[in-house]
Amino acid sequence: MEQVCAVILAAGKGTRMKSNKPKVLAEVLFKPMLGYVLDACESVGVKDICVITGHKAEEVEAYLASRGGSYETARQTEQKGTGHAVMMAKEFLQKNAGKDVLILSGDTPCLNGETITQSYALHKEQQNAVTLVTAVLEDPASYGRIIRDGERILKIVEKKDANPEEAAVKEINAGAYWFQAEHLLSVLDRLTTDNAQGEYYLTDTVALTIQDGKTVGGYIAPDSDIILGANSRKDLFELNELMRKKVIDKHFDNGVEFISTDGVSISPDAQIGADTVIYPGTILKEGVVIGEDCQIGPNTMIQNSVIGNHVKLNSVQCFQSKVDDYADIGPFVHIRPNSEIHHHVHIGDFVEVKNSTIGAGTAVAHLTYVGDSDVGKNVNFGCGVVTVNYDGVHKHRCTIGDGAFIGCNTNLVAPVSIGENAYTAAGSTITKDVPGEALGISRVKQENKEGFSKRKLAGRKKKVEE
Ligand code: UD1
Ligand code: CA
């Protein structure tokens, strides 16, 4: 793929999506559609890529920058059709004049690397000026129709411009094309807006190529799903469903167990080990790696995190963190970014951990906040412990040594450190370091006032008689 480049059309508004976002950034399984198209190109080594931006161009350009790759962009300030969009890439095409150019739409996320390489092989083998990717559909819907004379492709007719005979054709234009770049430049200049939509159609380049006496080939995709795009929310939903099932099928094949796939959505890049069981309501967003023999869910969301083997996550939200083997977490736990939960840790209900390390074998069983803290091994947190990490201006860290025992309802006012095997007494607000082995206690001594209620509450009315 040395002598190739690609132009990706991503300027359209996507009116039917009724969204503030540009259509190509609409997400399928947590990734923008444009991302799939770029990934397909990059997976087969297409490196020189020019993206045509227009509607909300800054947002599309920001997305491209966030991917870290190097992309050229060209702006199409007014969207006058797919042919007009490619005209915006003129300089890019002139620079790549000796090469073959692949044209793709930013709204067809199922188009894969295999389709790109196979259609390119046909393009080279037949020495075509243009090679189209086509598919045969039972319902050709609003796609452009491929009009052939026998085997020979003559033209593409848009549904809106088709006569009844043309409209009945079931072979359609997938919107992916290979062109000899120089030839594309020469036909682009000759496009007109003489059609039902008053647009410059890229599809008209086919008839112009035939007029030039050059050859147009067609690669008929064996799997017609690759052409699917999203022009509406319903389309987007259907794409999500289709891809969701494909991803789950892949994990079935890898030995992952699903109790039920209700409410389960898994990003295509997720890795899950064999014997792991996924419960309903599990959402795995991008960047998730899960080991073997885990129990994930129900009602669990994970993003950009690495989970070890034999881990249980029940009703857990976990972001940008690492959870090691045999950790048992949940229900109702929030692991916020930059946390490391070491092996054999137990975290129970209503616990939040943020930007902290929890050492092996430590238990944080109930109603606790651990923020900006370094917690050692085999520490026990009583119920209701709070690390007071924020003074309203700055955040500070707490350090808790191995084997420490933090009594119920302790406030640890950071910065503070608790030594190895030290205790804090229940209900203490700890503002000074506690040395190893010591007990930190900070609360008033208890005093009992005998007969208090008799004096205080004499004559109080009771709701029900005793
Ligand atoms: C187009 C094809 C149709 C094909 C279908 C496949 C034309 C005239 N028709 O129709 O034959 O079956 O794709 O999906 O090409 N875009 C721009 N600038 C514009 C217009 C569109 O960048 O001025 C971009 C859009 O953002 C989108 C892509 O081009 O990513 C396709 O445009 P869209 O309007 O969706 O074309 P279709 O009507 O689907
Ligand atoms: Ca489209």
Ligand 2 midpoint to CA 236 (Å) = 12
Q: What residue's CA is closest to ligand 1, atom 20?
A: 81
pLDDT of residue 147: 98
Which 3 state secondary structure label does DSSP give 104?
Answer: strand
How many Cβ atoms sit within 10 Å of the Cβ of residue 3?
A: 10
Q: Which amino acid is present at 319? A: F
- Whole-angstrom CA distances from 309 to 252, 260, 317, 347 are 18, 21, 18, 16
What gap in Å lies between CA 44 and CA 352, rounded to an integer? 43
Task: Tell how far the Cα of 441 is from the centroid of ligand 2, in angstroms.
Answer: 68
The tens digit of pLDDT for each residue in 34-43 reads 999 999 999 9
Asked if the domains 4-227 and 233-440 are classified in one and the same CATH topology, the answer is no
Identify the pLDDT of residue 368: 98
What is 4-227's CATH number?
3.90.550.10
- Please provide the CATH number assigned to the domain covering 233-440: 2.160.10.10
CA 231 to ligand 1: nearest atom: 35
Q: How far is CA 371 from CA 43, 192, 321, 336, 396, in A?
A: 40, 63, 13, 9, 9
Who lines ligand 1 at CB under 6 A? 9-12, 23-24, 52, 54, 76, 79-82, 84-85, 105-108, 143-144, 156, 158, 172-175, 201-203, 229, 231
Q: Which atom of ligand 1 is nearest to the CA of 23?
A: 26
pLDDT in tens, the chain (466 residues): 779 999 999 999 888 999 999 999 999 999 999 999 999 999 999 999 999 999 999 999 999 999 998 999 999 999 999 999 999 999 999 999 999 999 999 999 999 999 999 999 999 999 999 999 999 999 999 999 999 999 999 999 999 999 999 999 999 999 999 999 999 999 999 999 999 999 999 999 999 999 999 999 999 999 999 999 898 999 999 999 999 999 999 999 999 999 999 999 999 999 999 999 999 999 999 999 999 999 999 999 999 999 999 999 999 999 999 999 999 999 999 999 999 999 999 999 999 999 999 999 999 999 999 999 999 999 999 999 999 999 999 999 999 999 999 999 999 999 999 999 999 999 999 999 999 999 999 999 999 999 888 888 777 777 887 6
Give DSSP secondary structure letters for 408-437: TT-EEESSEEE-TT-EE-TT-EE-S-B-TT
Ligand 1 centre to CA of 275 (Å) is 44
221 CA from centroid of ligand 1 (Å): 19
Active-site residue, 366 included: yes
The DSSP annotation for 23-42 comes to GGG-EETTEEHHHHHHHHHH
Nearest CA to ligand 1 atom 12: 143
pLDDT of the residue at 455: 82
Residue 22, class by beta-carbon neighbours within 10 Å (0-12 exposed, 13-18 middle, 19+ buried)?
Answer: buried
Return the domain boundaries, the chain. Answer: 4-227, 233-440
Length of the chain in terms of residues written = 466
Distance CA 259, CA 76 (A): 49
- Paired residues of 271 in beta bridges: 289
87, 105, 172: which to mutate for ligand 1, most atoms within 8 A of CB? 105
Ligand sitting nearest the alpha carbon of 15: 1
